Chain A
């Protein structure tokens, strides 16, 4: 899995490339943890190149959704592949998260 970051206005975009699973979810956790510690209030996770997710990865998303909400911030998602969206839907996560088709739509919201 590769994680890259870029800043767009007040939003930090974290792009995930590859698999997010039990063997590497802690790297994703550390990346988000650093942003929260740095006081970032708006995070957008761009999932265009994320091609697999398991419950370990979903757990990180949920933990940080709760943290960001508690701090009055936001965690949005964009560009989800259909198989990944299916996993999110079955988990009930599509009702918890704001998920946009593109990062542009997410940034404009």
Chain B
């Protein structure tokens, strides 16, 4: 079991640090590239939602990221933020992936990707903290 922790602030530019961390873990943990790409995508979508929606007041807020590698079995991601209660898994309308272009709405894909690409997804509100856990089997 290997654990990696990263703390970022609620600014989009911080996503570059997340990408770099994942690139480094890909090597260190010898993760297959498709797994890393799925993790990268789901983390970006989740973090973007947290950055945009979790805090109503301005100012820097931190987001804790914990990645756990259960060798040969799975990689899990835990995102914790101290924003308002926000469950991204419930509060987004799912996109209609069969709609024609003219009818297709712009939005709703981020959470959809998380549900599609991750094997387990769970949200909890613990005290004043939002916790989003995602797990990808290897």
Contact = CB atoms under 8 A, between A and B. Distances in A.
A21 B44 contact: yes
Interface residues of A, number: 22
B13 interface: yes
A40 B44 CA distance: 33
Name the prevailing secondary structure of the A interface residues. helix
Contacts of B13: 23
A92 B102 contact: no
Q: Most chain-B CB neighbours within 10 Å: which of A58, A59, A91?
A: A91
Contact of B41 (A23, A54, A66, A92): A54
Given A22-B48, A90-B116, A62 B104 contact: yes
B90 interface: no
Interface in B96-119: 96-102, 104, 106-107, 109-110, 112-113, 116-117
Contacts of B98: 92, 95
B45 A55 contact: yes
Interface residues of B, number: 30
B83 interface: no
A87 interface: yes
Contacts of B37: 52, 83
B97 A55 contact: no
A30 interface: no
B88 interface: no
B101 A65 contact: yes
B109 A55 contact: yes
A59 B104 CA distance: 10
Nearest to A68: B101
Interface in A56-77: 56, 58-59, 62-63, 65-66, 69
12 contacts: A23-B12, A23-B15, A52-B40, A52-B41, A54-B48, A55-B109, A56-B48, A62-B104, A83-B33, A83-B37, A90-B112, A92-B99
